[in-house]
Structure 1
Amino acid sequence: MHSHRRFENPPALPHVVVVEMLERALMDRGHEPEAASVLVGTALNDEDQTFVEHWCVEVGTRAVPGSPLLGLAGLCLGHTARRFGRLSDEALALVESLAARAEADPTDVDGRALDGFDDVRSFLHLW
């Protein structure tokens, strides 16, 4: 008997829910798995680019070293660049910094930050 895993992209949630869940995870690492799903759903499906970028930057600057949310924030900035065709200077600096940290120490920031940086370079034709 084969079991088939099904992957579904999480939906965008109301902004108040996103803020509450991300803030909770930034204060208590026990909530990181739910926050990861929320951040991905926001980056892939929310139509408010300013909100998406703001929360990717918040997570990417406030999560503790070693948190899986750091690499994910970089990846989600890559999704944001692909979807909207632009990023702020602050977001560009962060995605580059997260990628450099991932390259230097994958136990600090995981490799998804490198994937996000590659996406930013590809979709925004930078660097």
Structure 2
Amino acid sequence: MNHVHRRFQNPPSRSHDTVAEVIDRALADRRYEQAAIDALVGVALADVDRVFIEHCCLKMGSSTSAGAAFLGVSALCLGHAARRFGRLSAEAIQLAGALAARARHDPSDVSPNAVDGLGDITWHLRRYKNRWHHGRHRVSSW
């Protein structure tokens, strides 16, 4: 019996120009979808610019046809941003909710990653809100 040992590595964060270019290429041609997923995950996990991360997630999550792998990943990456920054724009939260609803209705339309992303958003924003109410942190927006 042969076992395949896979090793997971987080994709590296790339420059904003490179990420934007990769996303645009993938939106035009789904053959580049995995490169766009790697670029999005890389910035969601490591970039310091929450607004840029949200912009990329919103672009990928709202500009893509049904069944594209990066629909669910867009919501998942918004969950990463919520964990890292403790806040998201209303538009980002709304997109994650819509993608999660679609995933629950038809997982072939949007991957269940969207449900995980919405769960992360809900949990992390509630956690930061509770800290704010207790005077430990000041969170300016949800």
Q: Distance in 1 between matches of 2:72 and 2:32?
A: 16
Query: By how many angstroms is 1:3 displaced?
Result: 4.9
Query: By how many angstroms is 1:5 displaced?
Result: 1.8
1:15-54 equivalences in 2 (<5 Å): 15-54=16-55
Which residue of structure 2 lines up, in the alignment, with residue 81 of structure 1? 82
| TM-score normalised to structure 1 length | 0.95
- Structure 1 runs (4+) deviating above 6 angstroms are none
Aligned residues: 126
CA RMSD of aligned residues (A): 1.3
Q: Distance in 1 between matches of 2:67 and 2:5?
A: 31
Q: Distance in 2 between matches of 1:64 and 1:30?
A: 14
Which residue of structure 1 lines up, in the alignment, with residue 96 of structure 2? 95
| TM-score normalised to structure 2 length | 0.85
What amino acid does structure 1 have at the position aligned with 2:42? G
Q: Distance in 1 between matches of 2:63 and 2:3?
A: 41
What amino acid does structure 1 have at the position aligned with 2:70? L
What amino acid does structure 1 have at the position aligned with 2:85? F
Higher Rg: 2
Identity %: 50
Q: Distance in 2 between matches of 1:105 and 1:58?
A: 21
Which residue of structure 2 lines up, in the alignment, with residue 72 of structure 1? 73
Query: By how many angstroms is 1:89 displaced?
Result: 0.5
- Structure 1 unmatched runs, 5+: none
Which residue of structure 1 lines up, in the alignment, with residue 8 of structure 2? 7
What amino acid does structure 1 have at the position aligned with 2:31? G
Query: By how many angstroms is 1:2 displaced?
Result: 5.5
Query: By how many angstroms is 1:4 displaced?
Result: 2.9
